[in-house]
């Protein structure tokens, strides 16, 4: 091999190494959600372990992917000294969604599912809490179970308490307490 060709190949090696290191598939080992930008510890293909790597997330969505999640490790300028992680896909992700559907989910199976049909499904193993001064429903509201209220239940005619007070104060005149029904019977003759 010519000395010129050897010199060119020697000069290319660091550049090629950096190009190969630009993007790598990695596995998230641990997540630190306390810093302003979430940091992860990742394992790259050859068993290389990097700590304190910033994980980029979409605005308005914050998640802590479980250990074992797959991500994309991007090495800025091909250097492992400055990397970022994008994504965090896990085997617990919902499957078989239709094109155009989306689902917000956790590893336990709880989810908010936006279906193409226009239906939104909210599924929780324990409880759904709406923390707002007012919840407004423009359509009908149905419940398969009991409805409890910590305060007055009201419709356009008044509160349940006002209805109870009117009912309890209501009496019928001429009816003797404990008497049998005063219904009359008639006999039809042929």
**pLDDT tens, 138-188?**
999 999 999 998 888 888 888 888 888 888 888 877 766 665 555 554 455
DSSP state string for 24-84: EEEEEEEEE-SSSS-EEEEEETTS-EEEEEEEE--TT----PPTT-EEEEEEGGG-TTSEE
**pLDDT tens, 49-95?**
999 999 999 999 999 999 999 999 999 988 888 999 999 999 999 99
Burial class (CB in 10 A: 0-12, 13-18, 19+), 163: middle
**Residue range 93-120: average pLDDT?**
95
Q: H or E element: which one contains 121?
A: strand 120-123
C-beta separation of 42 from 49 below 8 A? yes
pLDDT at 14 (0 to 100): 84
pLDDT at 12 (0 to 100): 86
pLDDT at 18 (0 to 100): 77
pLDDT at 32 (0 to 100): 97
Residue 133 has pLDDT above 50, yes or no: yes
pLDDT at 72 (0 to 100): 95
Largest CA distance in the chain: 133
Q: Please report, in angstroms and rounded to a whole number, the separation of the first and last CA atoms in the chain.
A: 131
Chain-centre distance for alpha carbon 14: 44
C-beta separation of 114 from 103 below 8 A? yes
pLDDT at 190 (0 to 100): 47
At residue 169, φ and ψ (nearest 5 deg) are -85, -10
pLDDT at 81 (0 to 100): 87
pLDDT at 130 (0 to 100): 95
């Amino acid at each position: 091999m010519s000395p010129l060709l050897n010199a060119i190949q020697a000069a290319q090696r660091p550049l090629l190494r950096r190009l190969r290191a630009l993007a790598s598939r990695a596995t998230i080992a641990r997540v630190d959600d306390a810093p302003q930008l979430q940091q992860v510890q990742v394992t790259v293909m050859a068993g290389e372990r990097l700590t304190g790597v910033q994980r980029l997330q979409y605005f308005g969505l914050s998640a802590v992917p479980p250990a074992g999640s797959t991500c994309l490790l991007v090495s800025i300028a091909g250097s492992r000294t400055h990397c970022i992680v994008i994504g965090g896909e896990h085997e617990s992700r919902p499957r078989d969604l239709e094109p155009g559907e989306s689902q917000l989910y956790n590893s336990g199976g709880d989810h908010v599912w936006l279906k193409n049909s226009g239906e939104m499904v909210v599924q929780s193993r324990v409880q759904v809490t709406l923390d707002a001064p007012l919840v407004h429903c423009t359509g009908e509201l149905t419940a398969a179970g009991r409805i409890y209220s910590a305060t007055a239940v009201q419709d356009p005619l008044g509160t349940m308490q006002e209805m109870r007070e009117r009912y309890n104060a209501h009496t019928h005149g001429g009816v003797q307490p404990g008497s049998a029904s005063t219904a009359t019977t008639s006999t039809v003759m042929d």
